[in-house]
Structure 1
Amino acid sequence: MNPNLARLQTYPFEKLRTLFAGITPPADLSPIRLSIGEPQHPTPGFIRQALADNLGGLSSYPLTLGSDALRDSIAGWLERRYGLPKIDSATQVVPVNGTREALFAFGQCVVDGGKPGAKVLCPNPFYQIYEGATYLAGAEPVFLNHLPEDGFASDFDSIGDAAWRGVQLVYVCSPGNPTGRVLSLDEWKRLFELSDRHGFVIAADECYSEIYFDDEARPIGGLEAAWRLGRTDFRNIVMFSSLSKRSNVPGMRSGFVAGDARILKDFVLYRTYHGCQMSPAVQAASAVAWNDETHVAENRRLYREKFARITPMLAPWLPVSLPDAGFYHWVRTPLPDTEFARRLQAEYNVTVLPGSYLARESNGINPGDGFVRIALVADTHECVEAAERIIDFCKTL
């Protein structure tokens, strides 16, 4: 067996099951699960219909690069969303089966684990796939703490020159999971400067980019930042996006990688052997989803409504504020995060995720300690009910 498998840590939701062992929540309170970032808004009917109308494609083997129609729809969306020039859909776009598998696979493709001192920089707290990809690629993770005292900014200069040496890949998540923080253009500029100096590739996880609260301040993307800063070849930057959150189709497993054509050429070669082509039916449904913005605007409206209701409800009891984007509240707790989550589950049947499960100790601290992640993914009525129970719980503390 690959010895690096032994380095993989237990996934947060497995830890949560262990934390809740022996708990019997009140029978008169229905369970409300706000722990997992799984969109629960209805899938738009036209996407479901497109999937059903294209089941004939199941009789064909799909291509690794997917259909021209899908790649063209993604390229068109990138141009409209980020104000980019013509994207070459043949060389700068690769459809993938959701960002999770692509983020992991990308690490295996670009990291040379046989090189002494191979490292991958990850945000902290973070999406655990980054860490798993690092270990399975034979590299060591370096963690960049995102801290409340500086607004969860990405302070790349806090990583010393010695730590940068050997870094081959940098994962960034913007809007951030779980903090909701969006990288600024200045932060992108600094990251590009460091990439030029040290030669690493940047993997920008942007799957929450379409859930935002101000139409005049849409989250900037990695390719947009590169273009605005004169990096018109997108050198050493690729971005990952998905329909899961944008279009409420997490079960379709549909996303894409776009950016540096030189890197994507090798990634396509890797994927040819990896065997992860997207179903033709899913490709057809994905193309119509990327071509439509009306359902995305409605999805944003639902999240805005929930945050407008829930945030002022919780504010007198917990230090909540509107994130830059995304559907999480990242909340400091008055108790240790695991105790807060366990008691809330046991006494009020509301599930939230301890922040310490989403982070690693780095520079002497775990930046998730004392926080919980609350995913406002259920419908508004259920989220309001959960907020009322959380308030009742806080009143007992």
Structure 2
Amino acid sequence: MNPHLDKLHPYPFEKLRQLFAGVTPNPEYAAISLGIGEPKHPTPAFIQKALAHGVAGLANYPSTAGTDALRGAIAGWLERRYGVPALNPATQVLPVNGSREALFGIAHCVIDASRPAPLIVCPNPFYQIYEGAAYLAGAEPYFVNSEPGRNFGCDYASVPADIWPRVQLLYLCTPGNPTGATLSLEDWKQLFALSDRYGFVIAADECYSEIYHTSAAPLGALEAAHQLGRSGGETPYARLIVFSSLSKRSNVPGMRSGFVAGDPAVIRKFLLYRTYCGGAMAPPVQAASIAAWGDETHVQENRVKYREKFALVTPLLKEVMDVELPDAGFYLWADVRRSGLSDTEFARRLYAEYNVTVLPGSYLARDAHGINPGSGRIRMALVAEVDEGVEAAQRIVQFCKSLKSL
């Protein structure tokens, strides 16, 4: 067997299952899960209709590159959303079966394991796919801790100078999972300068880009590159690729539809890799995806729902824990140390006593540079409808107040 498999950590939800083993939750309460970031808002009817009408295409093998119409729809959305020059749909856009498989696969395409001790830089806490991709590509992850004082941004200037020459790929997530933090133009300027100097590829995971809580949409990687003069010339978007998905934007996590876009040289190699993997998107999913990328009304309505939830839930929770409205995304990243419990004990007791599931922050991070930046925190996914989110918050407040009365 591949020895790299032995380096993989259990997935956070497997750790959570083990944490809850033997616990019978209080039967007085119906179960509410804030543990998994799975959108629960209804899938728009027009997307369902387009999916059903697309079944005629099942009689054909789909191309890994997708149809011209799908790539054109994605390129059109990128141009409208980020104000970037029109990307070439044939060379700069590639549909994928959800961003997860693409984020994993890109490491196998980029990493040259023949070079000594290759590294992949990851934020910490992080989406665990980044770590698994690093190990199975023959590299090692190098974690850069998020810092509360930087609005949970990572200080890449803190990375030692002798690390960067070994870096071949840098994963980042903006808006971040679990913190909701976004990158500024100055952050991007710094990262592009490092990429230019050391030659590594930047993989920007932007799956939460359409859920934000202010009037200003988060700055995208392609948008930043364009503003910094990196979208044209012989090497447009040099060593930059972005990953996005319809799962959160359009409430279709089961459809498994996303895209990769950016540097045509990287896209060309990634298409070759995915052709061998059999990573073609099913024709009905392509048809539904075209419809979804072409409509913004349902995205705006979805965003209103999240804003309503966060506006109601965040003030309730602030009574009993340190939590702030994030820049974007559908998570709350809360410090629960005021409770006097560790993040794991907090999650276990909350589940046992109030039947609410949250994810311990330490499960989403690794010990790095002397700390685990997720320790003492919990991640709450506000993915259900408003009433359920408010009910969960009220139970959490009751739980925390009960601790203080002991």
One fold, TM greater than 0.5? yes
> What is the rounded CA distance, in whole Å, between the counterparts of 1:59 and 1:33 in structure 2?
40
1:220 corresponds to: 219
Deviation larger for 162-171 or 237-246: 162-171
Runs of 4+ in structure 1 off by over 3 angstroms are none
- Does residue 315 (structure 1) correspond to residue 309 (structure 2)? The answer is no
2:146 corresponds to: 146
- Does residue 116 (structure 1) correspond to residue 116 (structure 2)? The answer is yes
1:278 corresponds to: 281
Deviation larger for 160-169 or 247-256: 160-169
> What is the rounded CA distance, in whole Å, between the counterparts of 1:263 and 1:109 in structure 2?
9
2:272 corresponds to: 269
1:260 corresponds to: 263
Aligned letter for 1:138? G
Instruction: Assess if the C-alpha contact under 8 Å between 1:114 and 1:138 holds in 2.
Output: no
Matches of residues 331-342 of structure 1 in structure 2 within 5 Å?
331-334=334-337, 335-342=341-348
Deviation larger for 145-154 or 333-342: 145-154
1:235 corresponds to: 238
> What is the rounded CA distance, in whole Å, between the counterparts of 1:54 and 1:150 in structure 2?
46
1:380 corresponds to: 386
1:294-315 CA-partner distances (Å, limit 9, x unpaired): 0000000000000011011111
1:305 corresponds to: 308
> What is the rounded CA distance, in whole Å, between the counterparts of 1:380 and 1:17 in structure 2?
26
> What is the rounded CA distance, in whole Å, between the counterparts of 1:292 and 1:104 in structure 2?
28
> What is the rounded CA distance, in whole Å, between the counterparts of 1:140 and 1:81 in structure 2?
35
> What is the rounded CA distance, in whole Å, between the counterparts of 2:179 and 2:113 in structure 1?
30
- Does residue 167 (structure 1) correspond to residue 167 (structure 2)? The answer is yes
2:354 corresponds to: 348
Aligned letter for 1:391? V
- Does residue 65 (structure 1) correspond to residue 76 (structure 2)? The answer is no
Aligned letter for 1:289? A
Aligned letter for 1:332? D
> What is the rounded CA distance, in whole Å, between the counterparts of 1:209 and 1:272 in structure 2?
28
Instruction: Assess if the C-alpha contact under 8 Å between 1:154 and 1:183 holds in 2.
Output: no
> What is the rounded CA distance, in whole Å, between the counterparts of 1:384 and 1:143 in structure 2?
35
SS in 1 for 2:153: coil
> What is the rounded CA distance, in whole Å, between the counterparts of 1:147 and 1:31 in structure 2?
33
1:172-228 CA-partner distances (Å, limit 9, x unpaired): 00000000000111000000000011110000000000001122x110011110110
Aligned letter for 2:229? G
1:366 corresponds to: 372
1:204 corresponds to: 204
Aligned letter for 1:254? S
> What is the rounded CA distance, in whole Å, between the counterparts of 2:211 and 2:346 in structure 1?
27
Q: Aligned-pair distance for 1:109?
A: 0.6
How many residues were matched structurally?
396
1:354-373 CA-partner distances (Å, limit 9, x unpaired): 00000001101000000000
Q: Aligned-pair distance for 1:150?
A: 2.5
Aligned letter for 1:321? E
Q: Aligned-pair distance for 1:154?
A: 2.1
- Does residue 23 (structure 1) correspond to residue 44 (structure 2)? The answer is no
Aligned letter for 1:301? V
SS in 2 for 1:146: strand
Aligned letter for 1:48? Q
> What is the rounded CA distance, in whole Å, between the counterparts of 2:153 and 2:279 in structure 1?
35
Q: Aligned-pair distance for 1:149?
A: 2.5
Instruction: Assess if the C-alpha contact under 8 Å between 1:154 and 1:187 holds in 2.
Output: no
Q: Name the % identity.
A: 64
> What is the rounded CA distance, in whole Å, between the counterparts of 1:353 and 1:12 in structure 2?
8
Aligned letter for 1:28? E
Instruction: Assess if the C-alpha contact under 8 Å between 1:44 and 1:295 holds in 2.
Output: yes
> What is the rounded CA distance, in whole Å, between the counterparts of 1:322 and 1:172 in structure 2?
21
1:113-158 CA-partner distances (Å, limit 9, x unpaired): 2221100000000000000000000001100100213221221101
> What is the rounded CA distance, in whole Å, between the counterparts of 1:251 and 1:11 in structure 2?
19
What TM-score, normalized to structure 2?
A: 0.97
Quick one: which of 288, 291, 296 aligns to 2:291?
Answer: 288
Aligned letter for 1:336? S
SS in 2 for 1:223: helix
> What is the rounded CA distance, in whole Å, between the counterparts of 2:300 and 2:229 in structure 1?
30
What TM-score, normalized to structure 1?
A: 0.99
2:13 corresponds to: 13
SS in 2 for 1:191: helix
Instruction: Assess if the C-alpha contact under 8 Å between 1:176 and 1:182 holds in 2.
Output: yes
Q: Aligned-pair distance for 1:164?
A: 1.2
SS in 2 for 1:161: coil
SS in 2 for 1:142: strand
